[in-house]
Amino acid sequence: MGNRILSILHGRRLQGTLDLNLPADIKRTVRPRLIEHGLQWLRANHPIDEDAAILARIEREEKEEEERLLRYVQELGPQSGHWNAQLGEGGDIYGRSTFQETRKVNEARLLAEEKKKRKEWLEGEMKDREKIEKQMKENTELQKYNPSAVVEARPRADPQERPFLAWAQKHYIRAENTDSDFSTLTTARRILPALGVTLLVLGLCYYYAETYQPPVYYKRMWKDLPPAAATIMGLMAANVGVWLLWKLPPAWRMLNRYFISVPLYPYAMSVVGSVFSHQQFKHLLTNTVILWLIGLRLHDEIGRGNFLSLYLSSGVIGSLISLTSHVLLQRLTVTSLGASGAIAGLVAAWCMLHSDDKLVPSFLPHDWRDSISANGSTVLAAIVAFEVFNLVSPFKVVGKLDNYAHLGGYFAGFVWAILYKSKREKERQRRRNERGFLDRFGSV
């Protein structure tokens, strides 16, 4: 359409017929402002004496009106023959196309760039291997890892043959932190930033727990849903959302930085993000089921403010303990993520709040409950003993568990429950003293 408009405008400039109306299809679809811009472009790039063309037109119309009308009728189709215009490529009656020529130049340039990028992409595999081998020589931490696994060849997919796989591989390589010098990081630089973030989060959690006020009924988002269920479902949704992000290659770079703990080159904020991060569905399902079973009961007992503060603080402490342990043990290539530390804190808090109560699994028959039940402190001690055994034993009862994060979560939940029970006992004692005072002096 743009080509056609320019051809018509230029032909009319030559013939002095710019005052005539444009074809109906152009008037319907093209704004006058764009037509005016096209005319200005022609005048700037192909200048002619339009006034002289108008005078010549007037003379032709006066002297050869009948002949002109006859030729116009006979030659209505191929106007290029009438106006003696230069034919375009392939005998195009609309003349030489500047747009087509520019398009060919741009297509050739883009094709050359695509071929260059494709060549660099396919040859980049060897460069990446050389980069990793160089890092292995310079960083003693990486030498303790399996060298064959680090430099294992990853054949790159051809973007023309397997575009989706090549696209995913590009995001995978982009997400890897292969340009940093790990040898310059000391133990303190790996741990202290995460410790600072942990202390900040603990302070914010304490402030939130102390100042939280539950909303009135008519201001709640889900009025018909119990507050405990709403809180648990919100946490579950956050965990599911991050799990879905792990399925999207463009998100891998962000997730590798802030949603997984990597002792070799840790980001301080990962101690928070990893609490909500799961890569495998089985891991996510296990944690959300335990969160639902324990969280509903604990939430009703301690309230939303305390519950959310306990969840996040336990998770962050578990992440910090895990990071610190792996750094001190020089296990720098072990990664960690998941809400297990936060859930461990909930379990420990529940057990300690009911340390003297008999805890019985609800699915057991009533006849078995008396013989199998145990108080909360005993249950917690058994869970911690299992974690320690699984940590130190050469034969792992359950593999791929971050026992350090679990133990950190249990410790956080244990300490929180002790402080919460002490605070609750002081509050009860204060109320008893107030009632005693009123009983003695109320009549006065």
For the chain, list residues with pLDDT below 50: 77-82, 141-143, 145-153, 444
Query: Distance between CA atoms of 134 and 150, rounded to whole angstroms?
Result: 12
pLDDT of residue 152: 42
Residue 307's Cβ-side half-sphere holds a number of Cα atoms within 13 Å equal to 24
pLDDT of residue 21: 85
Query: Which residue in the list 278, 336, 340, 354 is annotated as catalytic?
Result: 340
Residues of the chain with CATH 1.20.1540.10: 187-439
Do the Cβ atoms of 318 and 345 come closer than 8 Å? Answer: yes
Query: Which residue in the list 10, 278, 326, 406 is annotated as catalytic?
Result: 406
The model's pTM: 0.66
CATH number of 187-439: 1.20.1540.10
Angle, alpha carbons 95-25-38 (nearest 5°): 50
pLDDT of residue 355: 81
Element (H, E) at 374: strand 374-375
Tell me the CA distances in angstroms from 254 to 171, 174, 279, 359, one per residue in order.
11, 10, 14, 42
Do the Cβ atoms of 158 and 203 come closer than 8 Å? Answer: no
Tell me the CA distances in angstroms from 156 to 160, 261, 318, one per residue in order.
12, 27, 38
298 Cβ contact partners less than 8 Å away, ≥ 6 residues apart: 307, 346, 349, 350, 353
* C-alpha R_g of the chain: 38
- Output the DSSP codes for 80-103: HHHHTPPP-TTS-TT---HHHHHH
pLDDT of residue 79: 45
* Active site annotation includes 406: yes
- Would you tell me how many other CB atoms lie within 10 Å of the CB of residue 85? 18
